[in-house]
């Protein structure tokens, strides 16, 4: 039997359970189970269907446990950042987690900036200030008078919430906690002074644990339900999916995690908390090994994904082997600001792009090929802008970029990125998040000593 590590990887649109094992010095990956993820609007808010996601994760683990050739040793969980749920003293879930795209935080970041010493705030938190961040979600809950804040025993970020219901232990993994804007970037722990200044209970925030920490064994009743041995562990990995993905990037190389969001950054030993870093929109997010991933959050393939969904609804062929050649052949120089709020969640993404170009005096795309070309070259231009910001803040300029994740398969975007930045681009691995997740588990359980011990 193969010593096997399971990665439960949750994205905004789908999730999957991957099995990883080391064979002949190489890490082998198998997709065991894939499932959908969706946001659900109920009343005033947009929620994640956590119970369904938890059940889907269990279904994937159960499938792996039924494989006679796999010896399951541990599970690691990674998700998107900033979102969270609550449990009470009895361990009961207090409502569904609200999605970061919910309108409740609109304008709260700007309001906070207007009423606080932003330079001093960034010098502690070190995180790009955005409406979606956990801090503003909690401010919105305070203003709504949410009773959850009074009765909650623990606030748990999405991967921590999954882990809690597997192990019964409440803790918050470092990398996911660092997306909240509530962590002290230097101390790698909660900024309790800030938490209390917001009128929040500091006892609601569980201990911060580092990637590689064993969170505990899977609860006996859950193990029995899934057909697992009682000694299967849950390991805290780089629980923010970006941090699992960036762990596979070679040393000395910038990473560009390309998916719904684009995360462009470099791995450092200590945070950069200067005013210049703040004004450049840079975040100091926690990484594996207590490292700092100094990065920018950039709207990524979300725009293209929304366009493709629209086109599919009206009966267009939106296969990549159709739309990318059309974009390659298109001749249009228009460039949009992909981070503009016009593209955050419009009802009609195609019309939003046309209207933006019209207002800025640029040529408006007339067909699918031209629209895709505008989106991809706009992303490349934004990446180039980010590289310039980093070069001004780092001791040495960036010399190459490793594009990882699903977006690394987009050869046109890779080429446009190389042309826009003037840097060589290394593409892949596509499964960077799953690989990083499993490598941390393998190290934690002593299967390997370091990531360089295996090929992937």
Return the beta strands (E) in 92-169 as ranges.
154-157
Q: List CB contacts of 366: < 8 A, sequence separation 6 or more.
A: none
Contact 365, 327 (CB under 8 A): no
The pLDDT value given to residue 376? 98
Please provide residue 135's backbone torsions phi and psi, each rounded to the nearest 5 degrees: -55, -40
Q: Mean of the per-residue pLDDT values for the chain? A: 96
Measured CA to CA, the distance from residue 435 to residue 249 in angstroms comes to: 11
- Nearest CA to 204 out of 148, 146, 155 is that of 155
The pLDDT value given to residue 345? 85
**DSSP label of 102:** S
Q: List CB contacts of 111: < 8 A, sequence separation 6 or more.
A: none
Q: What is the pLDDT of residues 37-96, one digit of tens each?
A: 999 999 999 999 999 999 999 999 999 999 999 999 999 999 999 999 999 999 999 999
Measured CA to CA, the distance from residue 119 to residue 247 in angstroms comes to: 30
Q: What is the pLDDT of residues 156-173, one digit of tens each?
A: 999 999 999 999 999 999
Cα 25 to its chain centre, rounded Å, is 29
Residue 375 tokens, joined: 């989106």
The pLDDT value given to residue 252? 82
Residue 453 tokens, joined: 């011990």
The whole-model pTM stands at 0.90
Which of 102, 184, 241, 339 is flagged as catalytic?
241
Domains, the chain, ordered by start: 2-240+433-453 (3.30.420.40), 249-428 (3.30.420.40)
The pLDDT value given to residue 12? 85
Q: What is the CA radius of gyration of the chain?
A: 22
Measured CA to CA, the distance from residue 244 to residue 256 in angstroms comes to: 13
The total of other beta-carbon atoms located within 10 Å of residue 22's CB is: 21
Is residue 241 flagged as an active site residue?
A: yes
b/e code 266-288 from CB counts within 10 Å (16+ = b): bbeeebbbeeebbebbbbbbbbb
Measured CA to CA, the distance from residue 401 to residue 379 in angstroms comes to: 15
* Residue 237 region by backbone torsions, left for phi larger than 0, else alpha for psi between -120 and 50, else beta: beta
- Nearest CA to 61 out of 35, 24, 28, 27 is that of 35
Half-sphere exposure in the Cβ direction for 362 (13 Å, CA): 19
Q: What is the pLDDT of residues 297-333, one digit of tens each?
A: 899 999 999 999 999 999 999 999 999 999 999 999 9
* Residue whose structure tokens are 């929620």: 47
Whether omega before 429 lies within 30 degrees of 0, making that bond cis, reads yes
Q: For the residues 210-231, what does the mean pLDDT come to?
A: 98
Beta bridge partners of 238: none
The total of other beta-carbon atoms located within 10 Å of residue 194's CB is: 19
Please provide residue 306's backbone torsions phi and psi, each rounded to the nearest 5 degrees: -65, -40
Q: At what angle do helices 108-115 and 134-144 cross, to 10 degrees?
A: 90
Under the banding of pLDDT at 50, 70 and 90, the label for residue 251 is confident
């Amino acid at each position: 039997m193969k010593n096997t590590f399971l990665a439960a990887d949750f994205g905004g649109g789908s999730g999957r359970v991957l099995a990883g094992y080391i064979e002949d010095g190489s890490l082998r990956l198998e997709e065991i189970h894939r499932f959908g993820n969706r946001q659900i609007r109920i009343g005033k808010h947009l929620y994640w269907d956590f119970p369904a996601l938890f059940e889907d994760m269990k279904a994937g683990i159960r499938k792996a446990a039924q494989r006679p050739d796999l010896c399951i040793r541990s599970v690691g969980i990674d998700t998107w950042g900033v979102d969270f749920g609550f449990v009470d003293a009895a361990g009961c879930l207090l409502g569904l987690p609200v999605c970061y795209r919910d309108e409740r935080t609109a304008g709260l970041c700007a309001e906070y900036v207007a009423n606080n010493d932003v330079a001093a705030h960034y010098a502690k938190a070190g995180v790009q200030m955005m409406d979606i961040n956990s801090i503003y979600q909690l401010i919105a809950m305070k203003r709504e008078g949410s009773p959850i804040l009074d009765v909650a025993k623990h606030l748990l970020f999405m991967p921590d919430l999954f882990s809690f219901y597997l192990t019964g232990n409440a803790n918050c993994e470092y990398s996911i906690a660092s997306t909240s804007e509530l962590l002290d970037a230097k101390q790698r722990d909660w900024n309790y002074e800030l938490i209390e200044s917001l009128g929040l209970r500091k006892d609601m925030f569980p201990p911060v644990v580092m990637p590689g920490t064993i969170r505990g064994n899977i609860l006996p009743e859950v193990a029995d339900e899934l057909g697992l041995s009682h000694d299967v562990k849950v390991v805290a990995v780089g629980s923010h999916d970006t941090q699992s993905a960036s762990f596979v990037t070679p040393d000395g190389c910038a990473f560009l995690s390309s998916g719904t969001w684009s995360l462009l950054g470099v791995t450092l030993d200590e945070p950069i908390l200067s005013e210049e870093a703040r004004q450049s929109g840079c975040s100091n997010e926690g990484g594996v090994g207590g490292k700092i991933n100094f990065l920018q959050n950039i709207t990524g393939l979300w725009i293209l994904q929304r366009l493709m969904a629209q086109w599919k609804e009206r009966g267009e062929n939106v296969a990549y082997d159709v739309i990318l050649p059309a974009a390659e052949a298109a001749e249009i120089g228009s460039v949009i600001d992909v981070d503009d709020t016009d593209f955050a969640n419009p009802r009609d993404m195609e019309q939003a792009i046309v209207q933006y170009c019209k207002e800025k005096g640029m040529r408006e795309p007339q067909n699918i090929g031209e629209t895709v070309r505008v989106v991809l070259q706009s992303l490349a231009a934004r990446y180039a802008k980010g590289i310039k910001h980093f070069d001004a803040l780092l001791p040495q300029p960036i010399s190459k970029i490793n594009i990882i994740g699903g977006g690394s398969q987009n050869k046109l975007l890779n080429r446009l990125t190389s042309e826009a930045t003037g840097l060589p681009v290394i593409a892949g691995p596509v499964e960077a998040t799953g690989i990083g997740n499993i490598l941390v588990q393998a190290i934690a359980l002593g299967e390997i000593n370091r990531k360089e011990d295996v090929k992937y």
